[in-house]
């Protein structure tokens, strides 16, 4: 009962904050839950929405769907802006200025408060299930702009804005593992994809991981600390080389990325059907971007959908189909009230976050 209420609250909260429109966010979450119901029904094991395809009996695979919604859709959108992208690439390639190519001690001093502020904001956003790095970056940038003595200069290349956004972005990803390990709820796209990787190895994310797989949890923490240090070294040493990528025409990058997408989708199951799934959700992702629907909310809804359905069915059995028995579960009542309050509050205020993608 309590788990169902928590999942419902998380899905509503994410749907309301992951885009400019709460209605569109909730629609995206609902579609994610719908596609999560494809496959065997959780109690009767009767196929649902499989259209007689045996490949769908186990449900839609997360990896090819994520690749299609994120990578393939982005490449299709970029392909529609080739002329503008080619002009930008040519302008960058012809640039001869050397200003702002190094970070001075003064820049570090100006950026330190923004980095600390962004780290705190990113950590809080990462703990909240499903909001993602985009929301964290936007909130950190806005807070730094409001705290600045010269907010009118933001948007012209202020290093504080870059530091605020990137520090929050980097803080969101490790913080998103907190709800993943504590409750089995993904806090970001990366965490959602990581659930699929855990499942492939027979590990169920949740609080019992600390009891059943303590070495794995400790290894993940150690790996994240080492990865942060290695990322800093690689970034400093490889920056001159990595920056050359922006000089490569986009018309050459797009085919290479699409090829890697097909390889990644095929390796998930070793079947061409995974590539078909990737292409289907790639088309769906293009429409989602054009119509400003949050694909983050869609993916979170897809991941939470089966657990939400199972929790709802179990709740009905626990209450004996009598809603008055809900009073015996005060925690569930609190989260249901929070869900209703979130819908009312976000519906009135209409939060405005940056557009996903």
pLDDT on residue 92:
62
Q: Give a yes or no: residue 35 inside a domain.
A: no
Q: Give a yes or no: residue 206 inside a domain.
A: yes
pLDDT on residue 88:
67
In total, how many domains does the chain have?
1
pLDDT on residue 13:
64
pLDDT on residue 335:
79
Q: Which domain holds residue 281?
A: 61-93+105-307
Q: Residue 203, Cβ neighbours under 10 Å: how many? A: 15
Q: How far is C-alpha 150 from the chain's CA centre?
A: 32
Q: Give a yes or no: residue 18 inside a domain.
A: no
Q: Give a yes or no: residue 354 inside a domain.
A: no
pLDDT on residue 280:
92
**How far apart are the C-alpha atoms of 269 and 84, rounded to whole Å?**
37
What SS3 class is residue 39? Answer: strand
Contact 25, 15 (CB under 8 A): yes
Q: How far is C-alpha 141 from the chain's CA centre?
A: 19
**How far apart are the C-alpha atoms of 135 and 143, rounded to whole Å?**
12
pLDDT on residue 57:
81
pLDDT on residue 100:
52
Q: What is the pLDDT along the chain (357 residues), one digit of tens a residue?
A: 667 777 777 777 666 655 566 777 778 888 888 888 888 877 777 888 888 888 888 888 888 888 888 888 888 888 877 777 667 666 666 654 444 556 677 777 888 888 898 888 888 877 776 556 666 776 777 778 777 777 767 766 678 888 888 888 888 878 877 877 877 776 666 677 777 777 777 777 777 778 888 888 888 888 888 888 898 888 788 877 877 777 777 778 888 889 988 998 888 778 888 899 899 999 998 888 888 787 777 877 887 777 777 777 877 777 777 777 777 777 778 878 887 887 777 666 554 444 433
Q: Give a yes or no: residue 21 inside a domain.
A: no
- Look at the alpha carbons of 111, 114, 116, 122 in this order and tell me if their dihedral is positive or negative: negative
Q: Give a yes or no: residue 186 inside a domain.
A: yes
**Using the 8-state DSSP alphabet, how is residue 207 labeled?**
T
Contact 139, 161 (CB under 8 A): no
What SS3 class is residue 38? Answer: coil
**How far apart are the C-alpha atoms of 171 and 125, rounded to whole Å?**
9
**How far apart are the C-alpha atoms of 169 and 195, rounded to whole Å?**
20
Q: Residue 7, Cβ neighbours under 10 Å: how many? A: 23
Which CA distances in Å does 13 have to 38, 233, 332?
24, 37, 16
**How far apart are the C-alpha atoms of 146 and 166, rounded to whole Å?**
17
pLDDT on residue 97:
43
Q: Give a yes or no: residue 322 inside a domain.
A: no
Per-residue H/E/C for 104-138: CHHHHHHHHHHHHHHHHHHHHHHHCCCCHHHHHHH
Q: Give a yes or no: residue 300 inside a domain.
A: yes
């Amino acid at each position: 009962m309590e788990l169902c209420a928590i999942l419902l609250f998380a899905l509503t909260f994410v749907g309301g904050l992951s885009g400019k429109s709460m209605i569109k966010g909730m629609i995206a979450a609902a579609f994610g839950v719908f596609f999560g119901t494809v496959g065997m029904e959780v109690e009767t094991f009767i196929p649902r929405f499989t259209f007689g395809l045996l490949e769908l009996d186990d449900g839609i695979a997360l990896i090819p769907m994520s690749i299609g919604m994120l990578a393939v859709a982005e490449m299709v959108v970029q392909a529609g802006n080739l002329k503008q992208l080619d002009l930008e690439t040519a302008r960058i390639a012809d640039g001869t200025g050397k200003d702002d190519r190094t970070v001075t001690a003064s820049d570090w001093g100006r950026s330190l408060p923004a980095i600390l502020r962004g780290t705190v904001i990113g950590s809080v956003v990462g703990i909240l299930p499903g909001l993602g790095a985009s929301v964290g970056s936007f909130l950190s940038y806005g807070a730094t702009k409001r705290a600045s003595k010269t907010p009118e200069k933001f948007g012209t290349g202020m290093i504080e804005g870059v530091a605020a956004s990137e520090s929050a972005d980097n803080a969101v990803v490790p913080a998103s593992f907190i709800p993943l390990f504590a409750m089995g709820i993904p806090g970001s796209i990366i965490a959602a994809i990581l659930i699929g990787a855990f499942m492939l190895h027979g590990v169920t994310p949740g609080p019992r991981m600390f009891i059943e797989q303590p070495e794995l949890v400790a290894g993940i923490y150690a790996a994240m600390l080492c990865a942060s240090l290695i990322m800093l070294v690689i970034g400093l040493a490889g920056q001159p080389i990595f920056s050359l990528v922006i000089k490569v025409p986009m018309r050459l990058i797009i085919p290479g990325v699409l090829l890697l997408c097909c390889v990644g989708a095929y390796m998930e199951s070793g079947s061409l059907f995974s590539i078909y799934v990737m292409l289907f959700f790639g088309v769906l992702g293009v429409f989602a971007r054009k119509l400003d629907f949050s694909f983050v909310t869609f993916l979170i809804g897809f991941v939470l959908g089966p657990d939400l359905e199972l929790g709802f069915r179990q709740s009905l059995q626990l209450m004996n189909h009598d809603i008055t028995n809900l009073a015996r579960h005060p925690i569930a009542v609190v989260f249901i009230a929070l869900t209703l309050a979130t819908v009312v509050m976000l519906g009135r205020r209409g939060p405005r976050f940056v557009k996903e993608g």
